[in-house]
């Protein structure tokens, strides 16, 4: 959809902006276009998927909510939408504006926040492709968030990384952004922040920002940090972040400069959660399942209260038990009403939903307050997602490759990976249930392959018994997420065999086969993405 917009439209809408020719990941440093009104082809009856919402309250109680969408999934076509409600979430406007960058840049992972002076902020991230190794946190703000159509500031870039959860203001008046540089491949040579969950501080009310510390987890457990920061009553800071195996937490006692070693905190399915200080001084925690439970899927979104600064949790109000609910965020009115926003079935129902509750409801484990309500509809895309047509492509024959090697079957020290049989329909990656093996060189049928826990995981395998190893990965012109350079540097050679559509129906999944005779003691370490067959 996004590509249909004429360059002239961008010049008209943003004529004051100076657009310069962009190259590679420098595109993501370009200021976005603020589209008001949004194009017709982005309307509620056109969007094929949507989710990952956030919300905030203006000083007069007006609710603001945002999420992102665009294209058929998370990728270059993504843009951010904004809506508003002035009746406690009962009814909502149509999308009022969109945030977008022309070209191959996605605008995604938005977050909303209102500062102590009443300014309403809309944050989002910008990256070339799904993840370019750097990304960047951008924002616009308004001092007139009480109005349905306020004047917004020019877009400004705060720092490298992605800010998925709300800022806080600490007891010293510092504005603190929980921005993250994902500790996953690829790396970026020009980023200014190292991978990890950062503590980004402004001491001048948002005019300038600087990271003064960060919490990290080992790369094998790192994913999308999506961290929440809480200032404890004793002045320390508590940081909770998402990992591959649940939540981890760490503590800073020097104002965010240094952090304790991140350790497992609460079990949780792989998804964002929400932790916030309430007006009462208590904490609210919204997660999937009970506090000591890891639900197998994104379901059973529940809220809890702590009156002892997070040592124990009480209540357990079920906000939505259905499978497909995810990514809670929220805010609270001065008189105690708590709003929690989340999404439901991003690719089918395509709903953004809201809960309106109080602390009493959470502690009671059921609705007891007068104005409480669950599953209020913020927005629903009514577009019908068409079935995908089979991908038709002309495979590269790879005639510059070598004949297929034949030899003994190696054995590996697998560490975090698992082994399965290479056959049609098998699941290729631990975190992608729909990435099923579709096509491959017939000579590999029935061999073993190593299934990594994540398509973006950095797996390490060590050869214990010599033998021939094969790896499928896309050529660079097919997909930026490839490991061709790594394979060639480590002695692999291209096989003289045609490309195959390894899985799915996307050109980036068209893969080429590489091979090597591995020796005992040799180690392979690679990330996104390759499939090792032997």
Q: Give DSSP secondary structure letters for 404-433.
A: PP--PPPEEE-TT-EEEE--TT-EEETTEE
Q: Are 241 and 165 in contact (CB under 8 A)?
A: no
Q: Are 73 and 132 in contact (CB under 8 A)?
A: no
Give, as one character, the DSSP assignment of residue 383.
Answer: P
The pLDDT assigned to 359 comes to 98
- Return the structure tokens found at 129: 């492709």
The pLDDT assigned to 271 comes to 95
Q: C-alpha dihedral over 104, 502, 494, 461, to 10 degrees?
A: 100
- CA-nearest of 515, 528, 505 to 444 is 515
The pLDDT assigned to 418 comes to 82
Q: Using CA atoms, how far apart are residues 524 and 515, in angstroms rounded to an integer? A: 13
User: In 10 A of CB 320, how many CB atoms?
Assistant: 20
Residues 6+ apart with CB under 8 A from 451: 417, 418, 419, 420, 427, 428, 429, 430
The pLDDT assigned to 388 comes to 62
The pLDDT assigned to 6 comes to 32
Q: In what order do the strands lie in the sheet with 351-357?
A: 325-332, 338-344, 351-357, 373-380
CA distances from 288 to 354, 404, 432 (A): 16, 48, 20
CA distances from 408 to 443, 463, 468, 520 (A): 14, 12, 6, 12
Q: Using CA atoms, how far apart are residues 404 and 450, in angstroms rounded to an integer? A: 20
Please list the pLDDT of the chain residue by residue as tens digits (534 residues): 443 333 333 333 333 333 223 345 678 899 999 999 999 999 999 999 999 999 999 999 999 999 999 998 898 899 999 999 999 999 999 999 999 998 889 999 999 999 999 999 999 999 998 899 999 999 999 999 999 999 999 999 999 999 999 999 999 999 999 999 999 888 898 999 999 999 999 999 999 999 999 999 988 888 899 999 999 999 999 999 999 889 999 999 999 999 999 999 999 999 999 999 999 999 999 999 999 999 888 999 999 999 999 999 999 999 999 999 999 999 999 999 999 999 999 998 999 999 999 999 999 999 999 999 999 999 999 998 776 677 788 899 999 999 999 888 998 887 666 899 999 999 888 777 778 999 999 999 999 998 887 776 666 788 899 999 999 999 988 887 889 999 999 999 999 999 999 998 878 899 999 999 999 999 887 678 899 999
List phi, psi (to 5°) of 26.
-65, -20
Q: Using CA atoms, how far apart are residues 44 and 502, in angstroms rounded to an integer? A: 34
């Amino acid at each position: 959809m996004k590509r249909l917009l004429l360059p002239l439209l961008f010049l008209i809408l943003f004529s004051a902006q100076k657009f310069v020719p962009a190259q590679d990941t420098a595109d993501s440093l370009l200021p976005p276009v603020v589209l008001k009104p949004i194009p017709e082809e982005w309307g509620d009856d056109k969007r094929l998927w949507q989710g990952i919402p956030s919300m905030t309250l203006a000083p007069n109680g007006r609710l603001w909510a945002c999420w992102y969408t665009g294209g058929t999934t998370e990728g270059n076509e993504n843009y951010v939408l904004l809506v508003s409600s002035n009746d406690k979430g009962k009814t909502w406007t149509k999308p009022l504006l969109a945030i977008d960058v022309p070209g191959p840049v996605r605008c995604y992972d938005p977050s909303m926040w209102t500062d102590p002076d009443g300014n309403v902020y809309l944050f989002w991230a910008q990256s070339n492709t799904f993840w370019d190794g750097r990304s960047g946190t951008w924002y616009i703000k308004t001092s007139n968030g009480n109005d349905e159509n306020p004047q917004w500031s020019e877009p400004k870039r705060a720092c490298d990384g992605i800010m998925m959860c709300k800022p806080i203001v600490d007891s010293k008046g510092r504005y603190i952004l929980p921005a993250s540089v994902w500790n996953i491949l690829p790396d970026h040579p020009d980023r200014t922040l190292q991978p990890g969950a950062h503590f980004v501080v402004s001491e001048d009310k948002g005019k300038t920002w600087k990271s003064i510390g960060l919490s990290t987890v080992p790369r094998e457990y790192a994913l999308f940090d999506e961290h929440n920061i809480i200032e404890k009553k004793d002045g320390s800071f508590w940081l909770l972040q998402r990992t591959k195996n649940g939540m981890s937490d760490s503590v800073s006692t020097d104002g965010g400069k240094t952090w304790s070693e991140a350790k497992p905190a609460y079990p949780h399915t792989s998804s964002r959660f929400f932790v916030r200080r309430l007006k009462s001084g208590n904490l609210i925690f919204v997660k999937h399942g009970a506090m000591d439970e890891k639900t197998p899927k994104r379901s059973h979104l529940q809220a809890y209260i702590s009156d002892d600064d997070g040592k124990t949790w009480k209540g357990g109000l079920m906000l939505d038990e259905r499978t497909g609910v995810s990514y809670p965020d929220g805010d609270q009115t001065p008189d105690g009403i708590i709003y929690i926003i989340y999404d439901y079935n991003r690719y089918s129902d395509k709903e953004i939903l809201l809960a309106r509750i109080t602390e009493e409801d959470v502690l009671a484990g059921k609705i007891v307050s007068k104005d409480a309500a669950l599953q209020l509809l913020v927005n629903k895309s009514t577009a019908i997602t068409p079935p995908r047509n089979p991908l038709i492509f002309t495979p590269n024959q790879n005639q510059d490759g070598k004949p297929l090697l034949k030899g003994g079957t190696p054995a590996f020290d697998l560490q975090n990976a698992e082994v399965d049989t290479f056959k049609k329909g098998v699941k290729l990656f631990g975190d992608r249930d729909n990435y099923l093996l579709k096509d491959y060189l017939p000579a590999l049928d029935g061999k073993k392959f190593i299934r990594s826990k994540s398509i973006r995981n950095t797996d390490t395998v060590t050869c214990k018994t010599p033998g021939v190893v094969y790896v499928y990965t896309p050529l660079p012109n097919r997909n930026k997420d490839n490991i061709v350079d790594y394979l060639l540097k480590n002695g692999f050679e291209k096989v003289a065999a045609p490309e195959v559509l390894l899985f799915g129906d996307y050109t980036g999944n068209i893969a080429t086969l590489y091979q090597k005779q591995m020796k005992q003691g040799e180690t392979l370490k690679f990330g996104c993405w390759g499939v090792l067959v032997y």
